[in-house]
């Protein structure tokens, strides 16, 4: 997963949350001036702020929940990063592809891929793949694997 794209998507929510935080700081540090303005201007001047606060809280909560989930699904686990840094890069034949049932944006879906790393050794890993370019058993793909434990592998990005 491209974290730059994820942050571009999350940026409006972060800005709303930041706006809500600034507003909350203003209200808590100067409540008298805020409420005098709200009362003098009537409820019309005050009620437009409520949706912004609600949206800010919802977006912040969603970010706190979904960013860790998406990070876990991205395939960039600690093991995957370690393999990409220290592992042996090679071409491997795909033995099996299974759909995990997770789809992102109706374009990519999460699959479990089993490959043959060395003669007689298989490794299984998960990654998002394009719906229009699904790997099939028999296809070759570039992977990195741990030479000390060929059952650990990841896609070479």
Q: What is the pTM of this model?
A: 0.48
> Is the torsion defined by CA of 31, 34, 40, 46 positive or negative?
negative
Q: Are 94 and 135 in contact (CB under 8 A)?
A: yes
Of 112, 96, 104, residue with least CA distance to 130:
104
39/86 same-domain check? no
Q: Are 55 and 91 in contact (CB under 8 A)?
A: no
Of the residues 44, 73, 102, the one at which a domain ends: 73
Q: Are 126 and 110 in contact (CB under 8 A)?
A: yes
Digit-coded pLDDT (tens) for 107-144: 666 677 777 777 777 888 777 777 777 888 888 888 88
> What are the distances in angstroms from CA 65 to CA 28, 101, 109?
27, 20, 20
Q: Which residue has the higher pLDDT, 15 or 143?
A: 143
Domain that holds residue 133: 78-155
109/68 same-domain check? no
Token digits of residue 24: 């909350």
55/124 same-domain check? no
59/95 same-domain check? no
Digit-coded pLDDT (tens) for 43-79: 555 566 777 777 788 888 777 777 766 665 555 567 7
123/146 same-domain check? yes
Q: What is the pLDDT of residue 43?
A: 53
**Structural domains of the chain, count:** 2
22/55 same-domain check? yes
87/100 same-domain check? yes
| 106: region left, alpha or beta (phi > 0 left; psi from -120 to 50 alpha) | left
Of the residues 41, 73, 105, the one at which a domain ends: 73
Q: What is the pLDDT of residue 87?
A: 84
69/87 same-domain check? no
121/143 same-domain check? yes
83/141 same-domain check? yes
30/59 same-domain check? yes
Residue 101 pLDDT exceeds 80: no
83/65 same-domain check? no
Digit-coded pLDDT (tens) for 72-83: 555 556 777 888
Of the residues 51, 73, 95, the one at which a domain ends: 73
């Amino acid at each position: 997963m491209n974290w730059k794209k994820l942050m571009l998507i999350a940026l409006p929510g972060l800005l709303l949350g930041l706006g809500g935080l600034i507003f909350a700081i203003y209200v808590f540090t100067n409540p008298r001036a805020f409420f005098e303005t709200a009362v003098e201007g009537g409820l019309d001047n005050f009620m437009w702020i409520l949706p912004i606060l609600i949206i800010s809280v919802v977006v912040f909560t969603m970010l706190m929940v979904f960013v860790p989930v998406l990070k876990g699904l991205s395939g960039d686990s600690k093991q995957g990063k370690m393999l990409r840094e220290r592992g042996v890069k090679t071409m491997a034949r795909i033995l099996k592809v299974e759909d995990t049932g997770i789809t992102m944006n109706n374009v990519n879906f999460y699959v479990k891929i089993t490959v043959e790393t060395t003669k007689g050794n298989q490794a299984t890993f998960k990654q998002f793949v394009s719906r229009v370019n699904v790997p099939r058993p028999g296809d070759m793909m570039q992977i990195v694997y741990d030479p000390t434990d060929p059952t650990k592998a990841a896609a070479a990005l």
